[in-house]
């Protein structure tokens, strides 16, 4: 079977995009197996994840995403921006705002266009954060886990647990470039207190409107960016009285603007999405 694909990235978090609205791909190969095959950076196309456009009964489109190890997360903020650009520029969806069905619920991205009707950036309504520890899920004596102590083999961390449809452990540090992201992130991801594993964000506060963040993603490891992680980071920082409700977040791959609207409790994320190349691949 030969597939047409598009390779995209959102500030360095890179994805392979496929259209499976007719379900022909799924009938030929499992999405999980396909993700492992195509995301391999030596023997495949290479990517942090595989994203597929699938049919939806009550939304404009359905969104499925699989990590490079074949696991399926609920959502991905950087992937959603790429997805919206992919849909609009290929006229799969012709309206700038779209309702997308994900495992984390309804997500509403809006493409921002230049005079030539090309997508320059994407603003995504990421929905409401989940703060109740048991629903993140995170095992804690606190109703909302703010700076809860997490014991590792060789150190104790203060963790704030937030879900943006997927779990996040936000850890504030003095110097983010002094953290061994891989060593610590790997331990936190699989800690028994996170029964569904977790994404891990390491965050340095620069000011009340600026944060520096690095991420270890569940199922992917170190990546250059994580959109849901940036949203969880702002929520954690604001709840811990470290920032206001809006901040510019610096990631290894670039910057994201995150706003927590306290009137409707929704998080809004604005950032770029870029097409790297397209082609055909035989599977």
Which residues, at least 6 apart from 50, have a Cβ–Cβ distance to it below 8 Å? 15, 16, 18, 31, 34, 35, 38, 39, 65, 66
Contact 111, 250 (CB under 8 A): no
* Residue 76 falls in the annotated catalytic set: yes
* Residue 39 falls in the annotated catalytic set: no
Q: Which is the catalytic residue, given 39, 82, 226, 231?
A: 226
Give burial (CB, 10 Å; 0-12/13-18/19+) of 56: middle
**Rounded Cα–Cα distance for residues 63 and 61 (Å):** 7
Other Cβ atoms closer than 10 A to 53: 21
Task: Using the structure block, give the residue that is written with the tokens 């849909």.
Answer: 87
Q: Which is the catalytic residue, given 39, 76, 82, 231?
A: 76
Other Cβ atoms closer than 10 A to 30: 12
Other Cβ atoms closer than 10 A to 129: 23
Strands 61-67 vs 105-113: parallel, antiparallel or unpaired: unpaired
Catalytic residues: 76, 226
């Amino acid at each position: 079977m030969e597939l047409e694909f598009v390779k995209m990235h959102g500030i360095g978090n890179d994805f392979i995009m496929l259209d499976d609205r007719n379900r022909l791909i799924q009938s030929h190969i499992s999405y999980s197996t396909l993700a492992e095959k195509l995301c391999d950076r030596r023997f495949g196309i290479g990517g942090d994840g595989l994203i597929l456009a699938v049919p939806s009964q009550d939304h404009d489109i359905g969104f499925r995403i699989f990590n490079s190890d074949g696991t399926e997360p609920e959502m991905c903020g950087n992937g959603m921006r790429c997805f919206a650009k992919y849909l609009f520029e290929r006229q799969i969806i012709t309206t700038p705002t779209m309702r997308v069905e994900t495992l984390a619920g309804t997500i509403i991205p809006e493409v921002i266009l230049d005079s030539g009707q090309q997508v320059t950036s994407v603003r995504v309504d990421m929905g409401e954060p989940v703060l109740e520890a048991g629903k993140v899920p995170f095992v804690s004596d606190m109703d909302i886990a703010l700076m809860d102590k997490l014991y590792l083999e060789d150190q104790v961390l203060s963790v704030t647990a937030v879900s943006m449809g997927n779990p996040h452990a936000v850890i504030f540090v003095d110097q983010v470039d002094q953290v061994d992201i891989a060593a610590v992130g790997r331990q936190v991801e699989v800690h028994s207190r996170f029964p569904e594993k977790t994404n891990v964000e390491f965050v340095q506060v620069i000011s009340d409107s600026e944060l520096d963040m690095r991420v270890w993603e569940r199922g992917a490891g170190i990546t250059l960016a994580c959109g849901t992680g940036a949203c969880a980071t702002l929520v954690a920082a604001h709840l811990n009285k470290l920032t206001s409700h809006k901040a510019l977040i610096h990631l290894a791959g670039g910057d994201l603007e995150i706003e927590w609207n306290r009137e409707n409790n929704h998080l809004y994320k604005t950032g770029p999405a870029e097409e790297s190349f397209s082609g055909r691949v035989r599977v």
